[in-house]
Amino acid sequence: MNADCEISVTGLRKSFGPLTVLNGIDLRLKAGERVAIIGPSGTGKSTLLRCMNYLDRPEAGVIRIGDLTVDAATVTRQQILALRRRTSFVFQHYALFANKTARENITEGLIGVRGIPLAEANRRADRILADIGLSDKAGSYPAALSGGQQQRVGIGRAMAMESDLMLFDEPTSALDPEWVGEVLDLIRRVADGRQTMLIVTHEMQFAREIADRIVFMEGGRIVEQGPPAQIFDNPRDERTRAFLRRVG
Ligand code: ADP
Ligand code: MG
């Protein structure tokens, strides 16, 4: 991980057929910065995260992570692979491989994306499993794990990549309420380590607590952003106020 890594997105645009979902997104993150994205559903939050590692392909825009520049107009396969090596993704529905154990889910990306030898990948996975409190589940398949444990494996998999940027897309919204706390606790620890992160969440109290900055999105645009106290206690834009009234 490059501690000095600055991340920026400039002029990011994405449509699905006639539907424009991202309407020119500009966003910067400093190294170690933790940014939470909030906003109504259908507003392009997931699409923004997915475009940032080309799970969705933007039509236009430039993504920079440190010395890597990826311009949608000229992007190459090599650049997409490089972008994926520098980012890691935590999905709402965990997206674990059902036919792989917890340990194999963690080593998969290390071996496949990073080219780390199996023995070293296993050592790293075992350190991560200890760190996330799941050493005793190393050989368990996802179906044998609770929702909270599955998402902790999903987060452990992303932690193992030691990426420049961790992307979290509503990591607790598919969980039964009883598992939310343990997953938030783990994300809080990742945040405490000053991992650069972009997290989409509807957990407003959590966002206020862990984020250096809150970004409010609506209609494929960033409407307003600022420190949590400003956005939550003193939002300037009427759309932000209306959203916070609805969710608060
Ligand atoms: P959010 O995460 O803020 O709820 P999304 O980024 O998931 O919003 O979706 C934004 C809009 O894009 C929605 O109208 C959604 O239906 C549409 N959309 C997202 N993914 C696709 C897709 N693969 N094909 C067509 N439309 C999509
Ligand atoms: Mg979403």
What domains sit in the chain, N to C, each tagged with a CATH number?
Answer: 7-97+165-247 (3.40.50.300)
Tens digits of per-residue pLDDT, 6-17?
Answer: 999 999 999 999
Q: Where are the beta strands (DSSP E) in 147-234?
A: 165-169, 197-200, 213-218, 221-226
Average pLDDT over residues 69-85: 96
| Residue 145: strand, helix, or coil | coil
- Pairing type for strands 165-169 and 7-16 reads unpaired
How many residues are given for the chain?
A: 248
pLDDT of residue 248: 76
Q: Is the predicted pLDDT of residue 54 greater than 90, yes or no?
A: yes
pLDDT above 70 (res 5): no
- Cβ–Cβ < 8 Å for 33, 213: yes
Q: What is the H or E stretch that residue 10 is in? A: strand 7-16
- State the Cα–Cα distance between residues 214 and 135, nearest whole angstrom: 34
Residue 110 pLDDT: 94
Rounded to the nearest angstrom, the distance between the alpha carbon of 121 and the centre of ligand 2 is: 31
* 59: its two tokens: 């039509």
* Mean pLDDT estimate for the chain: 96
Residues 208-221, mean pLDDT to the nearest whole number? 97
Ligand 1: which residues within 6 Å by Cβ? 16, 19, 21, 41-47
From 12, 13, 14, 16, the mutation candidate for ligand 1 (largest count of ligand atoms within 8 A of CB) is 16
Run of H or E residues at 15: strand 7-16
Of the residues 19, 57, 217, which should be mutated to test ligand 1's pocket, given the most ligand atoms within 8 Å of the CB? 19
**Residue 3, pLDDT score:** 52
Torsion angle defined by CA atoms of residues 92, 165, 184 and 233, in that order, rounded to the nearest 10 degrees: -100
Q: How far apart are CA 35 and CA 212, in angstroms?
A: 6
Q: What is the pTM of this model?
A: 0.96
Give tens-digit pLDDT for 88-110.
Answer: 999 999 999 999 999 999 999 99
For residues 153, 82, 37 and 26, what is the CA-based torsion angle, rounded to 10 degrees?
A: 180
Q: Which residues of 211-231 are buried (b: 16+ CB within 10 A; e: fewer)?
A: bbbbbbbbebbbbbbbebeeb
- Per-residue model confidence (pLDDT) at position 178: 95
Q: Which two tokens stand for residue 175?
A: 């969980």
On whether ipTM exceeds 0.90, the answer is: yes
